[in-house]
A and B are shown apart, each in its own frame.
Chain A
Amino acid sequence: MADVLSVGVNLEAFAQAISAIQALRSSVSRVFDCLKDGMQNKETLEGREKAFIAHFQDNLHSVNRDLNELERLSNLVGKPSENHPLHNSGLLSLDPVQDKTPLYSQLLQAYKWSNKLQYHAGLASGLLNQQSLKRSANQMGVSAKRRPKAQPTTLVLPPQYVDDVISRIDRMFPEMSIHLSRPNGTSAMLLVTLGKVLKVIVVMRSLFIDRTIVKGYNENVYTEDGKLDIWSKSNYQVFQKVTDHATTALLHYQLPQMPDVVVRSFMTWLRSYIKLFQAPCQRCGKFLQDGLPPTWRDFRTLEAFHDTCRQ
């Protein structure tokens, strides 16, 4: 009730203040009018000057008076919105037609929600920082700039070690042949041929897999100058889909301390595609869905699913 009353008083003061502003404006414009008109015709020069100065003084006095009045009124109006937690938007609560425009309650909801979001994001970022899931120094973002020398030791493995790991994996799976080459310095590139089903180009950085592209067994994997073509995608929709899933797998198999285990897990997962065209979906029991065979392989069980049938 008190609120409403004070609002009423304030409104009156507002009205007065507005008319005071109008008065001030007109008195100011009178000053300029007087200056514009200059000295009026009088008999003597002295008379002219006197009359002008008196007129000018009168005008300035009235400006002063109006200004004082406005200052007095502005103290009465006060600063009602300043203490509100939502600042000027708090004035929305004064809107009498709550039912039609529930802006204020919506605003409060949004404010609470964004507060909560900030809080949870803070917690999550704290937790995530404890787990070092980073695959390479590049992805460390801003913090990496401050300590640029902190490169993980797993990124500087000797090429001989990488060769050993790959050849051991090659021997592990008889239906999979891995051809290793180093066309650009120390980074290895693998051409994995899986049975007569597909070929995979794997771009490595030390023992980290940076990129994979899956293509058909009968598709060309070399560019015109005889290098491995690591950019173009397969012409077949099946293998484009499998490429997407393989990229997902790269992000799934993570163990920064043991990169060789990661590569082995990835290859084991990849090997399950030997039955790409022969395995029906474990969920719907069919081979085709939208013209595609089951392209997804579960990371744990290696069972075949359609992209939309997986949980």
Chain B
Amino acid sequence: SSVSQMPVAEGKSVQQTVELLTRKLEMLGAEKQGTFCVDCETYHTAASTLGSQGQAGKLMYVMHDSEYPLSCFALFENGPCLIADTNFDVLMVKLKGFFQSAKASKIETRGTRYQYCDFLVKVGTVTMGTSARGISVEVEYGPCVVASDCWSLLLEFLQNFLGSHTPGAPTVFGNRHDAVYGPADTMVQYMELFNKIRKQQQVPVAGIR
């Protein structure tokens, strides 16, 4: 599957752009199939464990995906991805001495799932705290397990309803040639998308209309 960001249409709100997208999907013949939610919380390595080796504090992301309701994903940027049971959240509380949750770091995307043939499309609104920050579009093609095999096919599908905003191939696609795609690969894409959206917030946008 491919996760990408859809820029907010000019002169429209996030909500209006999402509606525009979902209407396009419905016109294409996609059927609504419930909702989805992906959330992500950031943890710092605690200051007390640093220093001795002089290593920089690493960020760890703990994520949940409604598609895998019994799992919890823990990722480092460019690092390994751990897939654990949902009790992992409780464990994180106990590991307070090593990992501390960053304040107000929770970011999530919520929206509707759409099924079109063997495609699963999830259009979500990315929110931080209470404000909507952007739009996420995930397209999954279930029958194919090797991501690079079906990229051209996915691209054609994406072009159908994203038009000129079609994204480039996600980096995870190229990383491991002909490896079987897994849920962790989707999580990495969401993490990258969330980080991109966070950075957009830090830099004040010049000339707000």
Contact = CB atoms under 8 A, between A and B. Distances in A.
Contacts, number: 54
15 contacts: A196-B145, A196-B146, A196-B149, A216-B143, A218-B180, A236-B118, A236-B142, A237-B118, A238-B143, A278-B149, A278-B150, A287-B156, A288-B153, A288-B160, A293-B153
Contact of B144 (A237, A277, A290, A291): A277
A131 B119 CA distance: 46
B156 A277 contact: no
A291 B117 contact: yes
Interface of B: 29, 116-119, 141-146, 149-150, 152-153, 156-157, 160, 178, 180
A13 to B, nearest CB: 73
Interface string A278-294: 10100000111011110
Given A196-B178, A236-B142, A288 B156 contact: yes
The main secondary structure of chain B at its interface with chain A is mixed
A297 B117 CA distance: 20
Contacts of A218: 145, 180
A238 B116 CA distance: 12
Contacts of B153: 277-278, 287-288, 293
Interface of A: 196-197, 216-218, 235-239, 277-278, 280, 286-288, 290-293
A62 B141 CA distance: 96
A292 B150 contact: no
A278 B152 contact: yes
Nearest to A216: B143
A291 B116 contact: yes
A288 B116 CA distance: 12
A175 to B, nearest CB: 11
Contacts of B160: 288
Given A196-B180, A278-B152, A292 B117 contact: yes
Question: Taking each of B118, B146, B160, which has the highest tally of chain A beta carbons within 10 Å of its own beta carbon?
Answer: B118
A291 B178 contact: no
Given A277-B150, A291-B118, A236 B143 contact: yes
